[in-house]
Structure 1
Amino acid sequence: MPSPTIAPFGSWKSPITAGSIVADSVRLGQIELEGDDIYWVEMRPQEGARNVVVRRAADGSVADVTPAPFNVRTRVHEYGGRSFVVDGGVVYFSNFADQRVYRQNPGSEPRPLTPAVDLRYADGVLDRRRGRMICIREDHTVDGREAVNTLVSLDLEHDGEGDVLVSGADFYSSPALSPDGTRLAWMAWNHPNMPWDGVELWTARIADDGSLEGASIVAGGPTESILQPEWSPDGVLHFVSDRSGWWNLYRIVDGYAQPLAPMDAEFGAPQWGVGMKTYAFESAGRIVCEFNQRGIWGLASIDTETLELTVIDSPYTDTGRGDIKASPGQIVFEASSATEPDAIIRLNADTGGMDVFKRSEEVEVDEGYLSIPETIEFPTDDGLTAHAFYYPARNADYDGPTDERPPLLVVSHGGPTGAASTSFSLAYQFWTSRGIAVADVNYGGSTGYGTEYRRRLNGRWGVVDIADCVNAAQYLVDRGDVDVDRLIIRGGSAGGYTTLASLTFRDVFKVGASYYGVADLEALAKETHKFESRYMDSMVGPYPERRDLYVERSPIHHTEMLSCPIILLQGLEDKIVLPNQAEMMVAALKKKGLPVAYLPFEGEQHGFRKAENVIRALEAELYFYSRILGFDLAADIEPVHIDNL
């Protein structure tokens, strides 16, 4: 094997291109089981980011169910989530373009069930006895009025808007029907709470006419986060709660919430998208579940008689992708690891054997170009510690000069209530294989480390997250891993805010990239959609009472403190962080004379999905860093216009 070429970090030639990241790649989602058939959703960048329901039949054949141009994606809460159900081979789904619910019989074209008005539907559960689907409805039909959320029933044979079953709360999710069809459970919460702050778990009897009666709260409240109510096959209500300081599993027994296998681990994740599933019943006697300990996910089973938890051996370290389903003898879930891309996997419940049905990426990369993340815990402000995954620069063909350390790209994840994971990411390998190290930071406020850690950010967004990103970089500098003069920070959405705030309020990073990031917290509080319209109450403070904090922590009001270049990338149809946030920041940077690049993308929303835009964004970011940090690129890419350079 030839000796590695010595070349400056950042200039290494890599087989991992921006194009290879989206070539033959899909984003996998929602899993449903019906008999021996397995269904899932594929988001396909090469098809204009269309979401397609796919079916794997018992004979192993795989075929698309929903035809073009239909795009199976709901906009409830803007982030969407569970968007289809299946019954007897008939698929009922939300279509992105018009948000109508469609019925698709096998071999037929989809036909609409709901009218062509501004109503959105999601998170359905089939009530077969009554020929209906119970789901969330979000009403946007009145201009200037906040959207109205309810639980409704939709007739599966006849058109209509749906009959309201439950109303009055600001938000609903997770309707769950008991196996005998006599009881319904659901979650409800109100402003200013987010679902990870406090949720009520309700149940009611279903009357002969299909209405609900005797509704009552059985768990939860303003300071208890509830997730995923689910009935066992023998009719016992289960759910996830953080009442112990960790999202653990419980069941209702004689009116009491009984813990199942309590432990310092998270059996859930923040419900950004509706319909998230992290446990399922393989039988009345066995629960299969996903759990997270210190940022690493695993699989386990729980015996419902003995309550003994048994860890299931698995090569995967990120199983908390949002869906796991089970039926007698099989468990189907979505998972990945540091070296294996996200995939739909079936686990034989009896033998433990695993079959991969679909990978999100089919690109094979030699292990010599793969960087394996190191879990690090580092000291941060107030005598605390925080967490990150560190990916060293790695390329089998190159080494850096002995007197040089690589640049470091610090990644601030979105949310901010969210988490970095060890899931295989060609996008990260894109950087590390070019000689740029990556630190993916789980700053205080991230999930996976218990409720106390998650609540570190309450009232301190723009303080704790910045400190943890800065201290992660400083830790790696002090350890001798990276170059203190070439520290980069980048993030999207809430991570874009942390990026802009870190570049404004701290003099540590030399350059940054903001993807649809927040520059003005006050504008976000005023202009964002219903689901997040009061999120800032807990993250910053109640608005307008604490307007002073919003101004104090908004980069747009302190551009005089900026001293380094920034590239901003923005979807022009973003309804969560409006494009004017990026545009204000660009104008301020131009006025100050700092190098700045701005790439707006037509047709993109909050997160880039189209293949050509994903490629352009990543290459533009690399080009920008090369010009600012002064390293040569190993391959030609399309230049980016940079003002003030």
Structure 2
Amino acid sequence: MTEPNRPQAAPSGTWTSPISAAVVAAGAMPLSQLALDGRDVLWLAGRASEAGRTTLLRQRAGAMAELTPAPFNVRSRVHEYGGGAYAVDGGTVWFSHHADNKLYRVEDSAEPVQMTKEEAVRYADFVPDRARQRLVAVREDHLAGEAHPVNTVCAVGFDGTETILVDGNDFYAAPRLSPDGKQLAWLCWDHPRMPWQGTELWVADVADDGSLVDGRLVAGGMDESICQPEWSPEGLLHFVSDRSGWWNLYRFEHGVVHPLCPREAEFGGPHWSFGGSMYGFRSEDEIVCTYIEDGVSRLASLSTRGCTLTPIDTPYQEIRELRVTPQAVAVLAGSPTIALELALIDPATGAREVLARSIDALPDTGYLSVPRSIRYPSANGRSAYAFHYAPANKDFALPDGELPPLIVIGHGGPTGMATSTLKLATQFWTSRGFAVLDVNYGGSSGFGRSYRDLLKGQWGVIDVEDCVAGARHLAAEALADPERLLIRGSSAGGLTTLSALAFHDVFKAGASYYGVSDLAGLDADSHKFESHYNEYLIAPKAQADAVYRQRSPIHHTASLKRPMIFFQGLDDKVVPPQQSESMVEALRASRVPVAYITLEGEGHGFRKADSVVKTLEAELVFYLRVFGIPVPQGLPQVEIENLAA
């Protein structure tokens, strides 16, 4: 008998892996914004190989078609984060083209036709109103030349004419027309609040001339977050509110708000982008919904009259988006062994038909690390949550006595949420002998309002404490080498990374992707949507100066003695390049090892395939050189200033 191949003992970082940076870049096709139109299924797909272009695909009668060929790029820039970039009704599609912000119409498979003229006006979250030959949409007007744009709810006629329907608030979202076309619901909020802090849900009647009359407040306020208003087939308004401390479902009927399913679970999420959906109607009496408990998504059928929640069995642990009609239930979902995919679900049997996958060909399971969800102690008696990935590669094992280096990830947002869906970008590290800890620090979504509000006035403190505690916890459990602890993060997670290195002596090196380093500078450069966010995260403006200086890593570079690598898109409008460049200059002057990688044509988040390859390979080379591990052939040269040979 032949003895099965045994894994070769080799140090972390030297393992060879089929999950290369090129595989990560080519294999991950972003999928987003589902829509159901009769029996047609539509969705957006990112094309990293086409400079990050996003295109609209449709499946009809088993055949897939691309409705927006190059150069069309289906993206909205409202609030800078966009979303809600297209709508469909009866085979007609309306969409926003990223290059010029104009609206276009596609009839069946014909060429897109331009509808609007101004490039300085942006649109999102469209609702077709065929009876009046128009779209209702959120409008963001940059024409006036003011410091910040003006947001409204508008009507865009199919002929391109525009009418303002609602104005006066700083922000609007989710305009939703009742089935009979006689009422319009919408969300609004004002500075300094963010939508997950407090929003208002309004309803108005639609007059014969299309204008709105008799607007009235239905729910919400300064300390209640409302999301995803929807009308039932018979015209009853439903919505998600966190008035109980959890985002739960409610119905507005006869002037009274009724809870549908009180539960310590999240049936909604933070409004960073438009068009999100976590529930929909199969009939007047049945809602199909997804909700999050203990960081895991579940699918269920909810009786609207009996308020009975019946689970629907699926293999998924993250359901990112859900669309429902009487004929179909579609999800964007994934799990630790399933990369994000688009599937049709039969609610009666749980049977699923996969229509699209974010990764067409997965590596052999022997190269994949399946995470475990952990809860661990953090500062001041708190608990924090994370997903722990152990190194995994069927061809290699750690030598006896060696513990793996650990990469701690602080997600962006900072109200975001780490999920366990299979991501090749994580497996890139674990298949090379690194352990990974993906942290849901205090302030993350998915664990109720009180957990989300832990970050109030504590950004740069709570998040950092939870990342530090997670690294120490795994080191104490002999699951990570305490002398090789790393931290990386993007955007808000970049501040977490820089603060952890400046204010704690735990991590040996770090990577910042378009991270925040100067809170005052962030305020000065911030776009409208987030221009007051720091008043919640850090301090009111009256106290801001002292706290900003205390929390901003740029003022504590003397404490930053650990090697750092920075990645920055030069077109980033959310966290401008100045934030990274100031840190690089300071570390360079302090003779701290530092590397700086810039990317032309990239904004807040990298979309191009060559950008993904360049950044991942550079980060790997950086860690290997910092830890004195030989760099394998084929990897690029990375200039690390001040690093001894």
Asked if TM exceeds 0.5, the reply is yes
Is 1:201 aligned to 2:201, yes or no? yes
Letter paired with 2:373: T
Counterpart of 1:302 in structure 2 is: 302
In structure 2, which of residues 504, 525, 529 is the aligned counterpart of residue 531 of structure 1?
A: 529
Alignment of 1:483-522 (within 5 A): 483-522=481-520
Letter paired with 1:492: S
Offset of 1:544 from its aligned partner?
4.9
Counterpart of 1:41 in structure 2 is: 44
In structure 1, which of residues 25, 30, 34 is the aligned counterpart of residue 28 of structure 2?
A: 25
Offset of 1:142 from its aligned partner?
2.2
Counterpart of 1:469 in structure 2 is: 467
SS of residue in 2 equivalent to 1:345: strand
SS of residue in 2 equivalent to 1:9: coil
Counterpart of 2:114 in structure 1 is: 112
Which of 341-350 and 420-429 deviates more? 341-350
Contact 1:25–1:44 (CA under 8 A) maintained in structure 2: no
SS of residue in 1 equivalent to 2:318: coil
Structure 1: any 5+ residue segments left out of the alignment?
Answer: none
Letter paired with 1:14: S
Offset of 1:634 from its aligned partner?
4.3
Offset of 1:254 from its aligned partner?
2.1
Contact 1:13–1:635 (CA under 8 A) maintained in structure 2: no
Counterpart of 2:290 in structure 1 is: 290
Contact 1:331–1:346 (CA under 8 A) maintained in structure 2: yes
Distance 1:350 1:564 in 2: 55
1:25-64 CA-to-partner distances (Å, cap 9, x unmatched) read 310011111111111110110111111110100x200010
Contact 2:251–2:258 (CA under 8 A) maintained in structure 1: yes
Contact 2:38–2:90 (CA under 8 A) maintained in structure 1: no
Counterpart of 1:75 in structure 2 is: 77
Counterpart of 1:142 in structure 2 is: 144
Counterpart of 1:578 in structure 2 is: 576
In structure 1, which of residues 584, 588, 591 is the aligned counterpart of residue 589 of structure 2?
A: 591
Contact 2:242–2:248 (CA under 8 A) maintained in structure 1: yes
Contact 2:121–2:140 (CA under 8 A) maintained in structure 1: yes
Is 1:325 aligned to 2:301, yes or no? no
SS of residue in 1 equivalent to 2:493: helix
Which of 432-441 and 139-148 deviates more? 139-148
Distance 2:233 2:523 in 1: 43
SS of residue in 1 equivalent to 2:345: strand
SS of residue in 2 equivalent to 1:134: strand
Letter paired with 1:243: R
Offset of 1:281 from its aligned partner?
0.6
Contact 1:120–1:137 (CA under 8 A) maintained in structure 2: yes
Counterpart of 2:157 in structure 1 is: 155
Q: How high is the sequence identity, in percent, across the aligned residues?
A: 49
Alignment of 1:356-367 (within 5 A): 356-367=354-365
Distance 1:429 1:546 in 2: 40
Offset of 1:350 from its aligned partner?
3.6
Contact 2:188–2:199 (CA under 8 A) maintained in structure 1: yes
1:505-529 CA-to-partner distances (Å, cap 9, x unmatched) read 1111000000000000110011110
Contact 1:20–1:363 (CA under 8 A) maintained in structure 2: no
1:560-599 CA-to-partner distances (Å, cap 9, x unmatched) read 0111000000000000000000000000010000110000
Counterpart of 1:92 in structure 2 is: 94
Offset of 1:89 from its aligned partner?
1.7
Contact 2:445–2:452 (CA under 8 A) maintained in structure 1: yes
Change (3 A) 1:494 1:40: same
Distance 2:628 2:437 in 1: 21
1:217-244 CA-to-partner distances (Å, cap 9, x unmatched) read 1000010000000000011100000000
Counterpart of 1:643 in structure 2 is: 641
In structure 1, which of residues 4, 7, 19 is the aligned counterpart of residue 7 of structure 2?
A: 4
Which of 523-532 and 84-93 deviates more? 84-93
Letter paired with 2:12: F
Is 1:540 aligned to 2:538, yes or no? yes
In structure 2, which of residues 13, 17, 20 is the aligned counterpart of residue 14 of structure 1?
A: 17
Distance 2:631 2:282 in 1: 52
Structure 2: any 5+ residue segments left out of the alignment?
Answer: none
Distance 1:347 1:404 in 2: 45
Alignment TM-score, normalising by the size of structure 2: 0.98
Structure 1's consecutive aligned runs of 4 or more residues displaced over 4 angstroms after TM superposition are none
Counterpart of 2:56 in structure 1 is: 53
Distance 1:184 1:177 in 2: 5
Distance 2:362 2:442 in 1: 35
Contact 1:265–1:449 (CA under 8 A) maintained in structure 2: yes
1:294-343 CA-to-partner distances (Å, cap 9, x unmatched) read 11111111011211001110100000x2x211111320110000111101
Distance 2:108 2:418 in 1: 40
Counterpart of 2:377 in structure 1 is: 379
SS of residue in 2 equivalent to 1:547: helix
Which of 137-146 and 114-123 deviates more? 137-146
Letter paired with 1:63: A
Offset of 1:24 from its aligned partner?
4.6
1:153-177 CA-to-partner distances (Å, cap 9, x unmatched) read 0101x123x2000000000000011
Counterpart of 1:251 in structure 2 is: 251
In structure 2, which of residues 370, 395, 398 is the aligned counterpart of residue 400 of structure 1?
A: 398
Q: How many residues align?
A: 640
Counterpart of 1:268 in structure 2 is: 268
Contact 1:12–1:633 (CA under 8 A) maintained in structure 2: no
In structure 1, which of residues 40, 45, 66 is the aligned counterpart of residue 68 of structure 2?
A: 66
Counterpart of 1:212 in structure 2 is: 212
Offset of 1:9 from its aligned partner?
1.1
Distance 2:357 2:631 in 1: 31
SS of residue in 2 equivalent to 1:23: helix
